Amino acid sequence: MRASGKPDQQTDLPPYFNLDPDAALAQLGAPSDSAAFARIARACDAGRQDLAGRGMEEGAGRELRLFSTWEITRYLIPVAQGHFRRVLKQNPELPQGRSETEGGAKWFTLDEVLRLRAHFAAEGSKTKDYLPWRPKGLPAKMVAVANFKGGVGKTSTAAHLAMSAALDGYKVLVVDLDSQGSMTSIFGGKVEDEWQTVFPLIARHYGQHLRAENQRRLDRGEAPQPLDDTLSEALEIRAPDIVQKTHWPNIDLIGAQLNLYWAEFQIPVWRMAGRGWKLWDALTECFEADGLLDQYDVIFLDTPPALGYLTINGLAAADILLVPLGASFLEFDSTGRFFDMLHSTFSSIEEAENVAARALGREGLNFQWDAVRAVITRYDRTQQAELAALLQAYLGPVLSPHRQDFTALIGQAGEQVRGIYEADYRDFNRETYARGRETFDATYAALKQLLLGSWRRDELAARAAAE
């Protein structure tokens, strides 16, 4: 029974109750048209310029931080700190580092660390791996990171793996195939238009196909198809022309920007005009022809969150495919659909190509990857352990047993569009820093295991073929 006759009033209703349509109309504003997008874009551009002028642009004038003796001997060069200091004292021609205070710790650039690592490899114990292993005479390994589910840490994973490989001593190339350009931003890249992306390489590959096809037409007495200005210009471009340096001494970048998305419209036009063009070979053959597979050790391909033509090029070029996913039902379901679409796409390409190959008595097309692995990212062991175990049971060895934990350090690095390896551990206590980078160190260790195993398999196969 109520204590009084007054009606029961609720003052803590959710905000979506009792909204007034007239008040909503007053706040709605005029309808938008396509010109509104241009106004918003101009506002964003003005904002970017303002932020850049205030020194707040991500990647503007970025320099890689220094590395302390403690960090070098713990993570980069496997020697005791005392021995490290003795070697520097005995070899004054080596980088000696710099101290920020009198008698303080010594700090080194990564380029200096790489020089020191080379010295230890030449003069130090032969039982230690001062330099990462890569068999002589074999090409770089290409690693594609892909999933069409957004928010799974695809770009972050690819960027941190690239940084890990660089800290390990490998020469790394990062290729951004996503027109959103997030990977390009992480490495401070500047890309003015599509001609500084992979677009001209794909156009060149088609132009070379068309030129060869025109020669066959001439041999048959038929009129050739004209090469337009785009194809003629692309035929003059080589991969090194679009590679740019980053603030990491051993990471280079082929960047991306919004105009790269036009490739998704242009490629099918070329494909319709040139049915015999093997578009999925474009990146592989251009990288090989232009020497990138010899110049670099590992090439990371960050793909768009969709299975378009750029993603197909990246996946077809890859030796190793990594698929990040979260430990949730929706992401597991989406990832399953992604693999189903991969099967449909690549098996249909194989089927179409092999019909013609069988008719001509040629060897058929068979896509093959050294390894395919799914990786759980942004993992919360207190909430997701049971589901992660179920995913492991269903996917078996395809799912990496390592879970990429989400920590405060990772979250902060993500907010700053920087990698955790670029974070100065003095901004945290050492335990927080060590725990934060531990999960990406383990992710890289799992990838390096795949790299070394696939290189060894190639090496043994080459040796067997030579006997």
Q: How many CB atoms lie within 10 A of CB 232?
A: 13
Residues forming beta bridges with residue 379, ordered by sequence position: 405
Which DSSP state fits 172?
E
On whether the CB atoms of residues 117 and 87 are closer than 8 A, the answer is no
CA atoms in the 13 A half-sphere facing the CB of 235: 13
Give the separation between CA 338 and CA 70, rounded to whole angstroms.
43
Residue-level pLDDT at 414: 47
Residue-level pLDDT at 314: 95
Give the separation between CA 153 and CA 324, rounded to whole angstroms.
7
Strand segments (E) across 188-297:
244-245, 251-254
Token couple for 69: 């003796």
Whether the predicted model's global pTM rises above the 0.85 cut: yes
Give the separation between CA 123 and CA 115, rounded to whole angstroms.
12
Strand segments (E) across 109-189:
141-145, 172-176
Give the contacts of 65 (CB within 8 A, at least 6 positions apart).
422, 423, 424
Under DSSP, is residue 410 helix (H, G, I), strand (E, B) or coil? helix
On whether the CB atoms of residues 209 and 285 are closer than 8 A, the answer is no
Strands 141-145, 172-176: pairing is unpaired
- Walk along the chain (467 residues) and give the pLDDT tens digit of each residue: 444 555 555 567 767 668 788 887 787 677 777 677 677 777 877 776 776 665 555 545 678 999 999 999 999 999 999 999 999 999 999 999 999 777 788 999 999 999 999 999 999 888 888 999 999 999 999 999 998 877 778 888 899 999 999 999 999 999 999 999 999 999 999 999 999 999 999 999 999 999 999 999 899 998 888 899 999 999 999 999 999 999 999 999 999 999 999 999 999 999 998 888 999 999 999 999 999 999 999 999 999 988 899 999 999 999 999 989 888 888 888 888 888 999 999 989 988 888 877 777 777 788 999 999 889 888 777 788 888 888 888 888 888 888 887 765 555 544 444 678 888 888 777 777 887 788 888 889 999 999 999 999 999 999 999 88
Residue-level pLDDT at 1: 45
Amino acid symbol at 67: F
Residues forming beta bridges with residue 172, ordered by sequence position: 251, 298
Token couple for 229: 């200005």
Residue-level pLDDT at 413: 47
Q: Which of 120, 45, 137, 47 is nearest to 78 (CA)?
A: 120
Which DSSP state fits 319?
S
